[in-house]
Amino acid sequence: MYDFTYQKPGSLADAVKVLSGDPEAKALAGGQTFIPVLKQRLNKPTTVVDLSKLGLSGITVSGDKITIGAMTRHADIAANADIKAKIPGLAHQASLIGDEAVRHRGTMGGSLANNDPAACYPSALLALGGTIKTDRRSIAADDFFQGMFTTALEQGEIITAIELPIPEKSAYEKFRNPASRYAIVGVFVAKFPSGVRLAITGAGQGGVFRHTEIENALSANFAPDAINGIVTPPDDLNSDIHASAEYRAHLVGVVSKRAVAKAT
């Protein structure tokens, strides 16, 4: 690891100031992806800004949405009674990220800001049609993800919370990479009165994406069999030593059906 200055600001304004003033300063949330990246010397920040003292943790329910502080740990999301009751797919998803020790440190905001194409949370945010709250604005999920490892966040902009509408039904199914345990294909399905949203992580070359054909079929008939016959073209899907694009394309159908079966 290259050395850097470590700062742990006590206010959001201070954190934003440091991160905005130095393009080489980086925010540290849970660090479960970022610290391994630093260890491999793939990133050389001047300053690492620890966001843990900004009061960004916590889960609140108000009316038809749940708001999750950006620094809320995966383990707390997985165990939260409100999330389990109202967005069970998200609780389940959080319980599948990394391993127990990773879930004790990793945060939802950190994962979303990183937008790893095989990370789990982007699929929940996108399928639920959530909103990213930052120090300066709100960003709709559909506008937030801009290709792998790329988001709408500006230099120095910090996610403060994630606001998620409560669906009628939700589920997450993950087909894991056998080695890394990231998603080869992860499917989050959410059923709202207005229709079904279904987002897929791990499979797409451009990161998380919504599968509108499956969404339309499920909006008409929210049942696993509604997906039958929908063919996902492999053209824009990832291919690696663990799974070809064709295999991923096939898994999109299988995993989506399982997610729907779990939600119904």
Partner 1 sequence: MGFEGIGASVRRKEDVRFLSGKGNYTDDINRPGQLYAVIKRSDRPHATINNIDVAAASSAPGVVRVFVGADMAAESIGGLPCGWQIHSKDGSPMAEPPHPVLAVGKVRHVGDPVAVVIAESKQAAKNAAELIDVDYTDLPAVANLTDAVAGGAVEVHDGVAGNLCYDWVIGDKAVVDGVFANAAHVVKLDLVNNRLIPNAMEPRVALGDFDTSSGDFTLYTTSQNPHVIRLLMGAFVLHIPENKLRVVAPDVGGGFGSKIYHYAEEAIVTWAAGKVRRPVKWTADRSESFMSDAHGRDHVSTAEMALDAEGHFLGLRITTLANMGAYLSTFAPAVPTYLYATLLAGVYKTPVIYCNVKAVFTNTVPVDAYRGAGRPEATFLLERLVDVIAHDTGIDRVELRRKNFIPADAFPYQTPVALQYDSGDYQTTLRVALANADWNGFEARRTAAKDRGKLRGIGISTYLEACGIAPSAVVGSLGARAGLYEVAEIRVHPTGSVTVFTGTHSHGQGHETTLAQLVVSQLGVPFDQVEVVHGDTAKIPFGMGTYGSRSLAVGGSAMVKAMDKVIAKGKKIAAHLMEAAVEDIEFKDNVFSVAGTDKSKTLTDISLAAYVPHNYPIEELEPGLDETAFYDPKNFTFPGGCHIAEIEIDPDTGVVEMVNFTAVDDVGRVVNPMIVEGQVQGGVAQGIGQALLESAIYDPSGQLLSGSFMDYTMPRANDIPNMSVATENTMCTHNPLGSKGCGEVGAIGSPPAVINAVVDALKDYGVRHLDMPATGAKLWSIIQAATPRMAAE
Partner 2 sequence: MPQVTLTVNGKQHTVEVEGRTLLVELLREKLGLTGTHVGCDTSQCGACVVHVDGISVKSCTQLALQADGTDVITIEGLAEADGTLHPMQEMFREHHALQCGFCTPGMVMTAIDLVQSHPGGLSEKEIREGLEGNLCRCTGYHNIVKAIAAAHPLMHAKAAE
The residues that touch partner 2, with contacts defined as CB under 8 A, are 1-6, 8, 28, 31-32, 35-36, 38-40, 48, 50, 52, 75, 98-102, 104-105, 180-181
Cβ atoms 189, 218 nearer than 8 A: yes
CA dist., res. 229 & res. 91, Å (int): 30
Choice between 63 and 178, CB closer to partner 1: 178
Choice between 4 and 192, CB closer to partner 2: 4
CA dist., res. 84 & res. 96, Å (int): 14
Residue 4, contacted partner among partner 2, partner 1, none, CB below 5-8 A by kind: partner 2
The residues binding partner 1 (CB under 8 A) are 1-3, 40-41, 175, 178-180, 241-244, 247, 250-251, 254
Residue 102, contacted partner among partner 2, partner 1, none, CB below 5-8 A by kind: partner 2
Residue 242, contacted partner among partner 2, partner 1, none, CB below 5-8 A by kind: partner 1
Cβ atoms 107, 59 nearer than 8 A: no
Q: How many CB atoms lie within 10 A of CB 203?
A: 30
Choice between 100 and 142, CB closer to partner 1: 100
Choice between 175 and 188, CB closer to partner 1: 175
Choice between 222 and 247, CB closer to partner 1: 247
DSSP structure string for 118-148: T-SHHHHHHHHT-EEEESS-EEEHHHHB-ST
- Minimum distance from CB of 176 to partner 2 (Å)? 10
Q: How many CB atoms lie within 10 A of CB 138?
A: 11
CA dist., res. 257 & res. 264, Å (int): 11
- Minimum distance from CB of 35 to partner 2 (Å)? 5
Residue 149, contacted partner among partner 2, partner 1, none, CB below 5-8 A by kind: none
Crossing angle for the helix pair 121-128 and 88-95, nearest 10 degrees? 170
